[in-house]
Structure 1
Amino acid sequence: MKTTVKMTFSRRGFIRTSALASGGLLIGFNFLTACKEEVQPPVDIANLNFNDFNAYIQIADNGYVTIFSPNPEIGQGVKTAMPMLVAEELDVPWDHVFVKQAGLDTDKYRGQVAGGSQSIRQNWAVLRQTGATAKQMLINAAAAKWKINADEVTATGGIITSPSGEKLGYGDVVKEAAALEVPENVVLKEPKDFKIIGKDTLNVDLDNIVTGKPLYGLDYKKEGMTYVSVLRPPAFGMKLKDFSDVDSRAVTGVYDVIQFGDKIAVLGKNTWAAMKGKKALKANWQNDALESTEMHDKILLDLLISKKGEIRREDGDVDKAFAEADQIIERIYESPFLPHNCMEPMNFYADVTEEKIHLAGPIQTPEGTAAQVAKLLEREPEEVVLELTRMGGGFGRRLYGDFVLEAAEISNKAKKPIKLIYSREDDMTAGIFRPAIKYKISASLKDGKITGYKLKEAAINSNMYGLIPHFFPAGAIANLRIESANYQSNITTGAWRAPYTNFLAFAEQSFFDEVAESLNQDAVQLRLDLLDNVVDGADERIQYSASRMKEVIKVAADKGNWGSTSEGVYKGFSAYYSHNTHVAEVAEIRMQNGVPKVSRVTAAVDCGIVVNPTGANNQVVGGVLDGIGHAMYGDFIFIDGKPSSTNFDTYRLIRMHETPKVDVHFIESERAPTGLGEPGLPPAGGAVANAIKAATGKRLTKQPLLKYLTEAETQLKG
């Protein structure tokens, strides 16, 4: 007898389940509604009479609301979470809300940037006030219609009610309300009264994502546009000498070949023609200054050991603490360059005409990029119109508008609308990379305590992003010196997910574990003891909160069963503050055929009020997996200015069967939200490295961890 069951899937569960299907899977129904009974089709808003209420809100005459999301969406969930803030204070049912992506508009919006995990934090008050203001104006309009005092009127769920029980929908008074004076003061809800904030909410784009609707930059099309592929110098430090485009122009579908600077653009009927035409180009390059990873290693070590750097912070008498120490521990930690590897390669649409510059595509910094385009083409900023699309990953790469500038320059020269598309090889070899970095960390120990601490950074182009000197352990150790030095390279580097801290957290958290071992102390207790030395607010330079950090440490240790043992399970701990958020993680690994496999990670997170628990959980899980994957496998070197890997066949990413279970525990809070897209990543590498030490006895100081674990074992056997 067969039993029929109704299945429901989370996004993660759906991916895992479909991956098990032997012959693939074709979904022929609306995934979001297929498991629900009596589902009504969504309201067709195309013909509704919408009234612009303010820059963020449109209200239709039937009470349905469109809320504009101003910030770029790169998968961090702001297109859902930001409208939730407006809807909460507007007090409208979420199922009556439609969300649209706003384009660049410097008059209506501020801070239209996706970077640094700051979108919700910086707009928390603004968006709530926007919703509350609109609600108050609707109340005022209803009160005027009823000829009563507005204080006597209430509004909830999109319905306004008078003391006598009369009711009006928002749509009934929206025209009158939009004409009223904007109130100077509005009352915001207390967290206990939230109906939308703090509730699990599906991503507003999920239906379109799952069913393949156009959302992303690569989906963007305009009638008459030409596709473009660009040949760039094959190595950093090379410049174009000359080229022949005879074979390229002979390719079917190739329309034109245009040189701009040291680059050559091939314009074609479609991406296939443009990319095939690019491959047919014959170019000669001249070398300027070719750099290699081997060269960088020597330079950075020299900076670290022999050269004096810039002092970023100095407390107490560090030299005296080290001179009087019973023991000194010193280690050097090393990390490679890393590409961003967004799932969606760089792309952008540009149509430069005498009237305007029309741009559209995935960019994290629309305002700054639009200004750069205007400057490049010697036009007024007001002439630039920029539409935002959803992004298939950003991780900092799309903070930089180099590919937008390319698109605009090509369109300007070609005098036609074009769509620039990077191949995966273009994306990996002509990118903005995480800089290679080395840290030297030293601690002086006396009478069983840490008396002094020195951290020195040597990095490629680190003056752009360098370390932050006022994070932990600043304030926790009386004698402390933070120092940095950098080498200016012609390899383009920039922000990579959780800049400043993505590797520094690994180095410091690995180091503190080693200190704890030397002092015969529990690793968690060592951190708590150090934090006991910090009084929140006593040093205004310190950016983290000792009390909040201690809480996440205790919760992670408790939920991760720190101190308990299970056969074959080895644990590592790490805690870090970044992007205004405190995170602690316990990683568990098991050895499989001599190779460590991360089986579980327990994370405790204090990010203030959690706006959308579903989205927040996804962000932390994604950050943890990203941190583990790159710490264990990410390796990228340059040989004579040329990247060693050009595609995923030679660049190692974490695979599905290598991803652990991640349990996330948010600290309940009524504080304003802080960052979440990045803070889960920094502690992950350190927690895994500390677990590997517990399992193998090998203390790894270089990433990728598996590469150097193998080297350590080979040397041991040799």
Structure 2
Amino acid sequence: MENQNKLTFSRRNFIRTSALASGGLLIGFNFFNSCKDAVKPPVDISKLNFNDFNAFIKIADNGYVTIFSPNPEIGQGVKTSMPMIIAEELDVPWSHVSVEQGALDTKNFVRQVAGGSQSIRFGWDALRQTGATAKQMLVNAAAVKWGVEASTCSAKDGIIINASGEKLGYGDVVNEAAQLEIPENVTLKSPRDYKIIGKDAINVDMDKIITGKPLFGSDYVVDGMLYATVLRPPAFGQVLESFDASEAKALSGVVDVITIGEKARNYLNQDNFDPSSHWTVRLSESDKVVVLAKTTWDAIKGKKAIKAVWKDSFNEESSDVHDEVLNDLLNGNKFDTRRSDGNVKQAFANADKVIERVYESPFLPHTCMEPMNFFADITAEKVHLVGPIQTPEAAAKVVASLLNRKLDDIHIDMTRMGGGFGRRLYGDFVYEVAEIADKVKQPVKLISTREDDMATGVYRPAIKYKIAASIKDGEITGYHLKEAAVNSNMYGLIPNFFPAGAIENYQVDTANFQSKITTGAWRAPYTNFLGFAEQSFFDELADAVGKDPVQLRLDLLKNVKDGEDKSIEYSAKRMTDTIKLAAEKGNWGNPGRNKYQGFAAYYSHNTHVAEVVEISLDNSRPVIEKVTVAVDCGIVINPTGAKNQIEGGVLDGIGHAMYGDFNFKNGKPQNLNFDSYRLISIKDTPIVETFFVENDLSPTGLGEPGLPPAGGALANAIKAATDQILLKQPFIKSLKNRKTDLSV
């Protein structure tokens, strides 16, 4: 088996055990071997606070298992799939497992993050080791009880059996197991023996979700808490000059109106503050007005009643000015070269033909179903924070600095999130509620409306790509990609993905414009728009050299020898297999009567994906009928969850490529709700069929890789149907120019 996470475990540091006061075994483990030798898990499960270990397994004396999942759950399924890995190696029936959300460990945990589609990839080895070690401890305890060698015993489905056929359940030996040494050598299962991994499992929170049980940050309530809304500058670059809160304070449910901002400014003005090393967007230089009220509705009404005066609007922050700036960058000479193979300039000079295109994308908001919210209760003893955050450790560190508290004082409980997509990587709403609660000395719940989210968010940056390729004697000899983006110093393209290594003369350059508009990671960062641009461009190259689009990609991949160039991140073999599977399952080249196909393949977040989009035309209007997806993500933990992730990413990619548009005027967002910002609707949703390349390789990401190829495959299908080459997102604007009404 390919081991993509070559971790060395010392189980004495990696795992600690205790006998529970109530009976049973508690195993504390650390995914990344960062536990200190002296750390021991608590004996009393009721006082479990996760300060020392980032995850726990509780095996009760009835044999049932509770697994505490440490990573934030944003709908990507890790709260289900990560415990499945442990349960597989522990060899306990999945029906005997319950899962609880863990809290934050700031002392020892390395990556308690939901982002980058990396949770399973990074946790794979550690989770298997943990389950296997726990099983071996139970087997050893049974062997001691029987007075036999552990090697003569085996375990299956929570039952241990010896050579004589005697049996003991896990619950029969948990107390004895807690007294034994942790075994150093354990055997992991072969994939052919998996009984849980690779089988469909229902999301562990499903019953609570469909019955409306409190799971999300929006659900969290404590007695006596206040609800807070924040009035922020309406335009990026503005600051508060004055405000009148008399009408707001006159409302019966409003408790008080205050301002915050001083602590944020102090934090930003620290001598050692490095913006590039902190996920701390929207800690603006302006004061903000906060309405504190008894209910959500009272807080919203109070905010609307505030009369504020803002100053220093920056006119250069309009979308059309960004468009001009990006054009200037794209056509200028101030670029950073990220990769340069061969001699692109010479290849272009010797070419029979050079093809050049410019692709454009707008800013995009995250539009999470659950708007931003967070709870804070701050006392002299601790800072208690509760809510949906993708980066709890980073947030805790900033709050500690903001409030001048020790990091040990900061305790974060994570709730399930109603969407993240990168927005909740940034803890601005956590910092705000911490400053509010610290000022009023009461428990406070910060709430946001949809308009708050849309107007004061962190956006996908506006980007333009200029792609040029040279053709000589019917072959692609050179490829030059230029990126001009807003704030791309943090979120630029990745130069070592395909076609790196596939074309002899290859160059990637980037330039950026620093804007006051906050930008950041948006689902499938770096590649969410680049996937469309490059895959659309390759369709044109296929036409230019007279090749089938799928065959062109396969031919180029033959030039790549896996392992020779260590900088190349994709696998030519795995991408080839993925492309062939998509072409086969999508019936590539045989779309049927009045149907048109488009193809795209892309590698991102360590996963290879290929997609075939099939459309028809209804009075010149493209109707997306079907998307066939092939995925190589290594071993699939939970097929149901995996398909949900891929299919959700495909629909997200198609919807935003087709409809997503967001504009600014003088730094002020213009699209504040779904009446003016269009998402894909049910009637626009195609059938999506997902197929996985079968192998025994370590698992990789799934939450994001399905999105990047979707826009490209759709654009190529529309080109096949209409001969129109789409260069801008959203496509709806370009298609409208052809007198195609897509506005309904």
What percentage of aligned pairs have identical amino acids? 65
Contact 1:57 1:68 in 2 (8 A): yes
For residue 374 of structure 1, give the secondary structure of its aligned residue in structure 2.
helix
In structure 1, the residue matched to 2:120 is 120
**Separation of aligned partners in 2, 1:658 and 1:454:** 35
User: Where does residue 251 of structure 2 map in the other structure?
Assistant: 251
Partner residue in 2 for 1:438: 464
2:26 maps to a residue whose letter is D
**CA separation in 2, counterparts of 1:440 and 1:420?**
43
Q: Which residue of 2 aligns with 1:274?
A: 299
Are 2:235 and 2:313, in contact at CA under 8 Å, matched by a contact in 1? no
The superposition leaves residues 392-430 of structure 1 with CA deviations (integer Å, 9 ceiling, x where unpaired) of 000000000010000101000111110001100000110
Report the Cα distance in structure 1 between the residues aligned to 2:408 and 2:137, rounded to whole angstroms.
Answer: 32
Question: Residue in 2 aligned with 1:220?
Answer: 220
Per-residue displacement from partner, 1:631-676 (whole Å, max 9, x unpaired)?
0000001111111100011100000011000010100010000000
**1:634 matches 2:660:** yes
Q: Does 1:172 align with 2:172?
A: yes
Amino acid at match of 1:73: E
Corresponding residue SS for 1:172: helix
1:306 aligns with 2:324: no
Secondary structure of 1:508 counterpart: helix
Are the equivalent residues in 1 in contact too, given 2:387–2:415 (CA < 8 A)? Answer: yes
* 1:53 partner SS: strand
**In 1, Cα distance between equivalents of 2:333 and 2:577:** 39
Contact 2:216 2:416 in 1 (8 A): yes
1:109 Cα shift? 4.3
User: Superposed, which structure 2 residues align to 1:136-285 within 5 Å?
Assistant: 136-261=136-261, 262-285=287-310
After TM superposition, the structure 1 = structure 2 runs for residues 5-16 of structure 1, keeping only pairs within 5 Å, are: none
1:65-84 per-residue CA deviation (whole Å, 9 max, x = no partner) reads: 00111100000000000000
Pair 1:390 & 2:416 matched: yes
Q: 2:712 aligns with which of 674, 680, 686?
A: 686
- Asked if the contact 1:432/1:492 (under 8 Å) is kept, the reply is yes
Matched, 1:659 2:633: no
2:595 is aligned to 569
Q: Kindly indicate whether residue 314 of structure 2 is the aligned counterpart of residue 289 of structure 1.
A: yes
SS at match of 1:483: strand
Candidates 375, 381, 388, aligned match of 1:355: 381
Write out aligned runs for 1:702-717 (5 A): 702-713=728-739
**1:483 maps to what in 2?**
509
Deviations 1:428-448 (A, max 9, x none): 110000000000000000000
| 1:12 aligned partner | none
**Which of 9, 27, 38 pairs up with 1:53?**
27
Q: Is the 8 A contact 2:621 2:740 kept in 1?
A: no
- Matched position secondary structure for 1:451: strand
**Alignment-mate amino acid for residue 441 of structure 2:** K
Tell me: CA distance 1:272–1:88, structure 2 relative to 1, closer, same or farther (3 Å): same
Determine if contact 1:85/1:127 at 8 Å carries over to the other structure: yes
- Alignment counterpart, residue 669 of structure 1, candidates 689, 695, 704: 695
**2:737 is paired with a residue of what secondary structure?**
helix
Q: Could you tell me which residue of structure 1 aligns to residue 576 of structure 2?
A: 550
The aligned length equals 669
Q: Partner of 1:525 in structure 2?
A: 551
By how many angstroms is 1:110 displaced?
3.8
Superposed CA offset, 1:465-516 (max 9, x none):
1000100000000001100000000000000000000000100000010111
Q: Which whole-Å CA distance do the structure 2 matches of 1:587 and 1:48 have between them?
A: 57
- Structure 1 segments unaligned to the other structure (5+ residues): 1-46
1:17 equivalent in structure 2: none
Partner SS for 1:56: strand
One-letter amino acid of the counterpart of residue 549, structure 2: A
Q: Deviations over 1:328-356 (max 9, x none)?
A: 00000000000000000000000111100
Q: TM-score, normalised by structure 1?
A: 0.92
Contact map agreement 1:70 1:109 (CA 8 A) in 2: no
Within-5 A mapping of 1:326-341: 326-341=352-367
Residue equivalent to 1:378? 404
Q: Which residue of structure 2 lines up, in the alignment, with residue 456 of structure 1?
A: 482
What residue identity is the alignment partner of 1:579?
H
Partners of 1:714 and 1:633 in 2: CA distance? 14
Contact 2:620 2:740 in 1 (8 A): no
Deviations 1:529-576 (A, max 9, x none): 110100000100000000100111111111111111422101000000
What amino acid is aligned across from residue 126 of structure 1 in structure 2? A
Q: Retained in 1: the 8 A contact 2:23–2:175?
A: no
Between 1:477-486 and 1:257-266, the stretch displaced more is 257-266
Q: Could you tell me how far 1:283 is from its partner in structure 2?
A: 0.5
- CA offset at residue 182 of structure 1? 1.2
Tell me, in whole angstroms, the C-alpha distance in 1 between the residues paired with 2:107 and 2:523.
30
Q: Runs of 5+ in structure 2 lacking a partner?
A: 1-20, 29-54, 262-286
Q: Deviations over 1:590-639 (max 9, x none)?
A: 11222111110000000000000000011111000000000000000111
Shift of 1:287: 1.7
Letter in 1 for 2:153: V
Q: 1:288, CA displacement in angstroms?
A: 4.2
Aligned to 1:185, the other structure's residue is in SS state coil
**Are positions 1:317 and 2:343 aligned together?**
yes
Measured at CA, do residues 165 and 638 of structure 1 come closer, stay the same or move farther in structure 2, by a change above 3 Å?
same
Which letter does structure 2 place at the counterpart of 1:543? E
Q: Which moved more, 1:364-373 or 1:284-293?
A: 284-293
Q: How many angstroms does 1:252 deviate by?
A: 1.2
Q: Which residue of 2 aligns with 1:368?
A: 394
Matches of 1:57 and 1:310, distance apart in 2? 49
Structure 2 residue matching 1:662: 3-state secondary structure: strand
What is the match of residue 86 of structure 1?
A: 86
Which residue matches 1:516? 542
Asked whether 1:425 is paired with 2:451, we answer: yes
Residue 698 in structure 1 maps to residue 724 in structure 2: yes
> How far, CA to CA, are the matches of 1:498 and 1:330 in structure 2?
25
* CA contact 2:243–2:306 (8 Å) conserved in 1: yes
The two structures, once aligned, show a CA RMSD in angstroms of 1.3
> In the aligned structure 2, how far is the partner of 1:487 from the partner of 1:509?
25
